[in-house]
């Protein structure tokens, strides 16, 4: 009977609440067993458990685990994360941080772009005059805007160019001034193709999600860019070769995507491939005006992922996450997040949700040979080409970002844009209980 009572009380202690078990084995008092009394007292002292041998922990005599290194690799270089002496893993730094631009020499050449039309000619001329006459910079403008500057006597500091000649200008232009909206930033990105100088944008367009500077303060903003910004003090001073402290200009490196079209085999040899296109927002593969759904096979580095039956599919950058992608149900992603967005357009499946992939993903979107129609591909809203059944679109991260100059910092500017442009989380605040009106009876 004693053994039975010990079993009963041990089971009861195992089900005790944590506040009981903290007292250890020296209990005082008694517990009532759920078993029938069977002619004995069901209350015993918990001290009888001291006579029961405690089990030995299975890991008490194990040797320490092996030492390891943890490497982070991008395919070109490696860096180490932190591994403590006990094998605990931790990050050495965040994956992305605030970038700072520091001029080694004073800028000498600037490109000024304005949106199409005559409504901003006055603001355009004022900025060109400030940069050319007051700051002594060579100002590069599109030839379509050159005539209005000559009429105002500003041709002395001006160098006109045709958009078809802009490809090599990145070797001479130090930074770009954008007077317009988001479309003008896309235009600047397409002008340069691959390498693009930093862009400072002023809100003179319709929406202006990417434009964070007020044109009324253009003199101060441009002076800070040319001579260095003194607002950011979190980082220590950076010194040049002469030991002079330099101030950094906060910028956001906006990821772009490299897209190329691979045609289906037409005979012997490798399939033909078309020129690469760089996009800042998104690339869209859709059915266009065809009456049938797109039938697209999706691969990641030649690994089959899924088959899409939808109106289309779009692959977006974090910058493009607040454009077409968010309208199609995708998430809004901070522009410094290393990610690629994969968003279906009106999928023929309720379970097909948008996903976010790492930036090293390499996607291949192949129009199924069984597709009923061809697919249309567009790059940043501009129609590109048609993909016949068997053709594929290859999408990966571009090594050439679009650097945009921040007004404050990349996170403050981004949250300010989604609040200003999208009225994000805009609602009346709930009143406190003291201010709330009592419910009225009908």
The two structure tokens encoding residue 442: 């009908």
CA–chain centroid gap for 268, Å, is 41
Which pLDDT score is estimated for 383? 82
Contact 83, 64 (CB under 8 A): no
Total H helices, total E strands in the chain = 8, 25
Out of 42-56, 243-257, 306-320, which region has the weakest mean confidence (pLDDT)?
42-56
pLDDT (tens digit per residue) in 141-162? 998 888 888 888 787 888 888 8
> Using the 8-state DSSP alphabet, how is residue 133 labeled?
I
Higher pLDDT: 231 or 295? It is 295
Q: Which residues are catalytic?
A: 182
Q: Is the pLDDT of residue 434 over 50?
A: yes
Q: How buried is residue 130: exposed, middle or buried, by Cβ count under 10 Å (0-12/13-18/19+)?
A: middle
Contact 365, 296 (CB under 8 A): yes
Q: Which domains does the chain have, with CATH numbers?
A: 2-51 (no CATH), 100-233+246-253 (3.40.50.10330), 257-400 (2.60.200.30)
Which pLDDT score is estimated for 53? 58
Closest of 310, 262, 265 to residue 284, by C-alpha:
310
The two structure tokens encoding residue 372: 């009923």
Which pLDDT score is estimated for 247? 67
Contact 174, 108 (CB under 8 A): yes
- Could you tell me the pTM of the whole model? 0.76
Q: How confident is the model at residue 64 (pLDDT cuts 50, 70, 90)?
A: confident
Which pLDDT score is estimated for 169? 85
Please state the rounded mean pLDDT for residues 297-323: 96
Three-state SS for 138? strand
* 125, 131, 135, 138: CA torsion to nearest 10: -110
Q: How confident is the model at residue 31 (pLDDT cuts 50, 70, 90)?
A: very low
Higher pLDDT: 88 or 410? It is 410
The two structure tokens encoding residue 368: 């199924």
Q: Is the pLDDT of residue 300 over 50?
A: yes
Which pLDDT score is estimated for 60? 65
**Rounded distance between C-alpha atoms, residue 232 and residue 220, angstroms:** 15
Which pLDDT score is estimated for 264? 85
Which pLDDT score is estimated for 14? 41
Which pLDDT score is estimated for 442? 63
Higher pLDDT: 163 or 270? It is 163
Q: What is the CA radius of gyration of the chain?
A: 33
Alpha carbon of 418 to those of 8, 151, 322, 423: distances in Å?
A: 63, 40, 8, 7
Tabulate helix, strand, coil % of the chain (nearest 5): 25, 30, 50
The two structure tokens encoding residue 296: 């697209």
**Percentage of the chain with pLDDT > 90?**
50
Q: How many CB atoms lie within 10 A of CB 155?
A: 14
Is the four-CA dihedral 24, 25, 29, 32 of positive or negative sign? positive
């Amino acid at each position: 009977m004693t053994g039975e009572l010990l079993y009963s009380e041990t089971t009861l202690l195992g089900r005790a609440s944590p506040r009981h078990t903290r007292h250890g084995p020296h209990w005082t008092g008694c517990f009532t067993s759920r078993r029938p009394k069977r002619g004995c007292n069901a209350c015993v002292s918990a001290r009888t458990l001291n006579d029961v041998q405690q089990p030995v922990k299975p890991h008490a005599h194990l040797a320490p685990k092996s030492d390891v290194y943890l490497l982070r690799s991008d395919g070109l270089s490696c860096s180490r994360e932190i591994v403590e002496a006990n094998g605990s893993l931790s990050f050495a730094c965040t994956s992305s941080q605030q970038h700072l631009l520091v001029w080694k020499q004073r800028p000498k050449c600037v490109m000024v772009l304005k949106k199409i039309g005559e409504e901003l000619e006055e603001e355009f001329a004022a900025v060109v005059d400030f940069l050319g006459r007051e700051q002594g910079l060579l100002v590069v403008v599109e030839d379509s805007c050159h005539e209005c500057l000559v009429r105002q006597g500003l041709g002395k500091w001006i160098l006109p160019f045709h958009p078809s000649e802009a490809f090599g200008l990145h070797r001479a232009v130090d930074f770009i001034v954008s007077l317009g909206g988001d479309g003008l930033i896309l235009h600047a990105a397409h002008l340069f193709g691959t390498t693009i100088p930093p862009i400072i944008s002023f809100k003179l367009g319709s929406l202006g999600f990417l434009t964070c500077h007020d044109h009324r303060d253009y003199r101060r903003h441009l002076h800070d860019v040319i001579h260095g910004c003194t607002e950011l003090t979190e980082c220590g001073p950076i010194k040049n070769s002469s030991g002079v402290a330099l101030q950094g200009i906060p910028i956001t490196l906006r990821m772009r995507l490299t897209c190329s079209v691979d045609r289906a085999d037409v005979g012997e040899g490798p399939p033909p491939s078309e020129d690469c296109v760089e996009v800042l927002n998104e690339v869209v593969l859709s059915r266009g005006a065809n009456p049938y759904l797109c039938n697209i096979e999706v691969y990641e580095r030649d690994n089959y992922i899924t088959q899409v039956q939808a109106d289309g599919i779009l692959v977006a950058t974090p910058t493009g996450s607040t454009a077409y992608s968010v309208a199609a149900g995708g998430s809004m992603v901070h522009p410094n997040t290393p990610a690629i967005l994969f968003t279906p357009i009106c999928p023929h499946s309720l379970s097909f949700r948008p996903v976010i992939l790492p930036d090293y993903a390499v996607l291949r979107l192949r129009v199924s040979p069984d597709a009923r129609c061809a697919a249309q591909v567009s790059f940043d809203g501009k129609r590109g080409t048609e993909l016949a059944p068997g053709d594929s679109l290859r999408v990966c991260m571009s090594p050439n970002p679009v650097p945009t100059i921040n007004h404050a910092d990349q996170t403050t500017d981004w949250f300010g844009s989604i609040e200003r442009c999208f009225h994000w989380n805009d609602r009346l605040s709930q009143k406190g209980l003291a201010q709330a009106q009592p419910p009225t009876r009908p």
